[in-house]
Amino acid sequence: MTLLPPLPHGRVRPVVRAPAAVLTRRAEDVDPRDPEVVQLAADLLATQRVSPGCVGLAAPQIGVGWRLFSLDVTGHPKTRSCHGPVVLANPSVVAASRKERGREGCMSVPELTGDVRRATQVLVAGVVPVTGAALTVETDAFEARAFQHEIDHLDGLLFLDRVAGAHGLHARSVYL
Amino acid sequence: MSLLAVTVIGHDRPGIIAETTAALARLGGNLEDSTMTILRGHFAMVLLVSADVRAGDVEAGLAVLTVDGTLKVTVREVPQEPDVAPTGATAYLLSVHGADRPGIVSAVTAVVASGGGNITDLSTRLTGELYVLLAEVDLPASADAAGLGARLARVADSLGVEVSLTPIDSDLM
Ligand SMILES: [Zn+2]
């Protein structure tokens, strides 16, 4: 079963880097059936796929303040539950529990990583672009972390806002 | 524009950072990277500041901090280091703990250095008899992490301390 609706051909878009106002404002709800929203979903997935090691991308990261993201943790060694490629509009975290610390990087903050505590069990709700169907996803481990990171982007939050302690920020030594 | 390393060390109290950075701002200095912590109650800070001012003038500007004799300030010019190029290195967390005795840090870090490891972050704490060392180590792709781990285990054994070397992977989202 795939959660992915049929999408048009996606275009690779440039990724916005912090500091940028679009990354720190709450993004706006969208109409999931709007063709522009559908195209943006395709563009997010296309841009994410050409970015090595990138498991998710939120619309503000390509300069659009809409509540929409793409995500795909397939094949990542820390993945347990996996829903394959996902695009989700107007999402929110409904329930979250069992926090663990992990080190995150972000395409929009390319030279730093940070130690961030995130829930390892989450329930996420949103709507599917194209169909507009309501969707809830229950997941864990790495996919749960990725959902929280992307939804944070839609709330205008970067991992920098969640670093666990003043010495939890690191130079990114490994470039993919 | 020169790059200045400013160190401030001494008795901790509220306001040291505010006073230091206000003085630097008056001199037109721009803060780049900095780190600060408390070591056994001592305030310890290093700031890298870019400024159009000579080190001696900055030290004079910071003299206000040292008048009561509880803080020591040094300022010296340092070269601009090139941006870190993509290295392909893998980061590891080195953890050492056990009964305190002389030479733990030197013995352990000598093994790290001989294995090609570069320490990028280090903190040590002594509480009672317990000594704890945590370090982040970059190992180049060519290094033998398993071999380094084995050599660290032998040295730790001879020191009577526990050691672990575990990869720290960061994930791009
Ligand atoms: Zn991100």
Domain, as residue range, for A48? 21-171
Instruction: ipTM value, please give it.
Output: 0.83
Tell me the nearest-neighbour CA distance from B120 into chain A, angstroms. Answer: 9
Within-domain flag for A58:
yes
Is B96 in the same domain as B129?
yes
Q: Which residues of B are less than 8 Å from A53 in CB distance?
A: 171-172
Domain, as residue range, for B50? 2-78
pTM of the model: 0.90
Chain B stretch 9-38, residues whose beta carbon is closer than 8 A to a beta carbon of chain A: 35, 37
Tell me the nearest-neighbour CA distance from B122 into chain A, angstroms. Answer: 11
Q: Using CA coordinates, name the residue in chain B closest to A58.
A: B173
Q: Which CATH number fits the domain that encloses residue B126?
A: 3.30.70.260
Contact yes or no for B31/B17 (Cβ under 8 A): no
Question: Which two structure tokens, joined as six digits, stand for B155?
Answer: 């040295």
Closest CB to A173: pick one of B120, B123, B173: B120
Three-state secondary-structure class, residue B70:
coil
Within-domain flag for A6:
no
- In order along its 176 residues, chain A shows pLDDT tens digits of 578 999 999 999 999 999 999 999 999 999 999 999 999 999 999 999 999 889 999 999 999 999 999 999 999 999 999 999 999 999 999 999 999 999 999 999 999 999 999 999 999 999 999 999 999 999 999 999 999 999 999 999 999 999 999 999 998 865 54
**DSSP state letter for B116:** T
Interacting residues of A11 by C-beta distance below 8 A, sequence separation 6+: A42, A43, A46, A47
Active site residue A150: yes
Q: Which residues of B are less than 8 Å from A174 in CB distance?
A: 87-91, 170
| Domain end marker among B78, B110, B145 | B78
Residue A87: which of A29, A127, A36 has the closest Cα? A127
Long-range contacts, stretch B144-149, CB < 8 angstroms, 24+ apart: B144/B115, B145/B90, B145/B92, B147/B115, B148/B111, B148/B112, B148/B115, B148/B117
